[in-house]
């Protein structure tokens, strides 16, 4: 019997009993974005504005996008006051511009490519009436100093809380008074075939 190579695909039959997220990662259907430059914070806004998202994810492909996590940790400059976050789902993507984020697979062995476009510090025009739905939000106390950061905050209500259909998008907003919050982040999702 031939021995398996480290280049072989993941033994999917062995992971079917793991959680769904682990299975999607093993099958190469999960992707993520994080800070474009390690240890360089992406900064939120000083007040909430629907036209300025901290993180943008747009489903430009033919598959459904299922969010798995949105983990944020405060870094860099201390926020000016209590931090507020919110996540909006747009049935029709209204993204205008932003700083591109590189999308990476969570399992690079499969060679599958993401069909989602990601950016930070994104601009969105005024929402078309009835297009956006609020998925949740948090109020977070700012860190005590730039050195002593707070715990990691999970911004999604729960994994798979929404299915972003082709042509839709997720917008993640963060803001704090006078000085916007700085973040290290990791946002992940799965891309699955639409029946």
Q: Where are the domains of the chain?
A: 31-192
- Under the banding of pLDDT at 50, 70 and 90, the label for residue 150 is low
| Helical (H) or strand (E) element with 23 | helix 20-26
What pTM does this model have? 0.84
**Which of 10-14, 25-29, 66-70, 148-152 has maximum average pLDDT?**
66-70
Say whether 102 sits in a helix, a strand or coil: coil
Q: What is the pLDDT of residue 29?
A: 92
d(CA 119, CA 60): 13
- Under the banding of pLDDT at 50, 70 and 90, the label for residue 39 is confident
d(CA 48, CA 66): 25
Q: Residue 84 has which token pair?
A: 């507020």
d(CA 44, CA 152): 16
Q: Tell whether the model's pLDDT for residue 163 goes beyond 60.
A: yes
The pLDDT > 90 percentage for the chain reads 45
Q: What is the pLDDT of residue 70?
A: 94
d(CA 52, CA 172): 9
Per-residue pLDDT of 43-77, as tens digits, reads 999 998 888 999 999 999 999 999 999 999 888 87
CB atoms within 10 A of CB 95: 19
Q: Residue 109 has which token pair?
A: 């062995």
Q: Which of 165, 183, 160 is nearest to 173 (CA)?
A: 183
- Under the banding of pLDDT at 50, 70 and 90, the label for residue 4 is very low
Say whether 15 sits in a helix, a strand or coil: helix
Find out whether 68 and 159 touch, Cβ atoms under 8 Å. Answer: yes
User: For the residues 11-25, what does the mean pLDDT come to?
Assistant: 60
d(CA 88, CA 169): 8
- Under the banding of pLDDT at 50, 70 and 90, the label for residue 148 is low
């Amino acid at each position: 019997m031939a021995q398996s190579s480290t280049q072989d695909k993941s033994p999917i039959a062995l992971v079917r009993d793991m959680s769904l997220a682990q299975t999607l990662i093993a099958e190469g259907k999960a992707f993520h974005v994080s800070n474009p430059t390690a240890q360089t914070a992406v900064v939120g806004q000083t007040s909430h504005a629907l036209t300025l998202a901290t993180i943008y994810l747009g489903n430009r492909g033919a598959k459904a996008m299922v969010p798995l996590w949105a983990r944020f940790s405060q870094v860099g400059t201390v926020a000016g006051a209590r931090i507020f976050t919110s996540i909006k789902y747009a049935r029709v993507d209204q993204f205008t511009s932003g700083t591109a984020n590189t999308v990476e697979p969570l399992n690079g062995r499969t060679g599958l490519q993401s069909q989602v476009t990601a950016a930070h510090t994104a601009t969105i025009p005024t929402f078309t009436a009835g297009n956006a739905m609020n998925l949740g939000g948090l109020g977070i106390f700012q860190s005590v100093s730039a050195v002593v950061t707070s715990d990691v905050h999970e911004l999604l209500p729960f994994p798979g809380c929404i299915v972003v259909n082709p042509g839709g998008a997720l917008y993640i907003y963060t803001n704090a008074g006078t000085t916007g919050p700085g973040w290290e982040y990791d946002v992940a999702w799965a891309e699955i075939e639409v029946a």
